[in-house]
Amino acid sequence: MTPKFLRSEADAAVDALLLQQVILYPTDTVWGLGCDAELPRAVEQVYKLKNRPAEKACIVLVADEAMFARYAEVVPGNLPALLAAQTRPTTYIVPGSRHLAPNLLAPDGTIGLRVALGDEFCRLVLRRLGHGLVSTSANISGQPTPAVFSEVAPELVRKVDYVVNWRQDDATRAAPSRVVRVLPDGTLATVRE
């Protein structure tokens, strides 16, 4: 597929996001549901589509360190080094900021943030949107996580506002991200390897 098609799909996804809609898209790991991370109504729609309990927070993709800092009350001082050393997508659990939709935060006020380093589509969307992008697996809560588009439940495909056409035929299987909690002293505790 051409870079022009990639850009046009990223533009179409952002157009839907700006209308407070929910998209089905290929993330930097698995297929996911997404919306603008600053819009409570859109976040509510994601939870409704997934039948997900409101107290179970979602991850937010960000474009870079500056966007990470916008959404994190505490930014690890060694974040640049952590990102440079990553060998796979890693989600950092940190205290969340007031810029995020309140219904996106975990009950303890934290949020999982992941810099979409290796995924051109997600980076294009994030740059054009200018906000964080909710990233939660495209499945009904409790069902298997879809690594490829063909594993997304047809009823979910029908219910979202926009389905991204990029990478629908890609059979590359990626695992969910590694998840680490940033502790007050700046060290990391592994939540999911």
pLDDT in tens, 21-42: 999 999 999 999 999 999 999 9
What order do you get walking across the sheet with 23-26 strand by strand?
162-163, 23-26, 31-34, 133-137, 59-62, 110-115, 90-95, 178-182, 188-192
- Give the domain ranges of the chain: 3-166+177-192
What number of other Cβ atoms are within 10 A of residue 192's Cβ? Answer: 10
Residues 53-89: tens digit of each pLDDT: 878 889 999 999 999 999 999 888 889 999 999 989 9
Q: Which CATH class is domain 3-166+177-192?
A: alpha beta
Burial classification of residue 151, based on how many CB atoms lie within 10 Å of its CB (0-12 exposed, 13-18 middle, 19 or more buried): middle
> Between the ranges 82-91, 122-131, 166-175, where is the mean pLDDT highest?
122-131
Percent residues over pLDDT 90 in the chain: 81
